[in-house]
Amino acid sequence: MYGYHYGFYGFDWTYILLIIGMLLSLAASAKLKSTFARYRRVRNASGLTGAAAAARILRAAGITDVQIRAIPGSLTDHYDPRTKTVSLSQDIYGQTSLAAVGVAAHECGHAIQHAVHYVPLELRSAIVPAANFGSTLSWPLFLIGLIAGIRPLITAGIVLFSLAVLFQLVTLPVEINASARALRMLQSTGILGTEETGGARRVLTAAALTYVAALAASILQLLRLLILAGGRRNDD
CA–CA separation, 232 and 236 (whole Å): 6
> Element (H or E) spanning 112, and its range?
helix 98-115
The percent of the chain in helix, strand and coil, each rounded to the nearest 5, is 70, 5, 20
CA–CA separation, 145 and 102 (whole Å): 46
Residues taking part in catalysis: 107
Q: What is the DSSP string of 55-80?
A: HHHHHHTT--S-EEEE-SSSS--EEE
Q: Is 139 helix (H, G, I), strand (E, B) or coil?
A: helix
Burial annotation 1-28 (CB, 10 A radius, 16+ → b, else e): eeeebbeeeeeeebeebeeebeebbeeb
Beta-bridge mates of residue 111: none
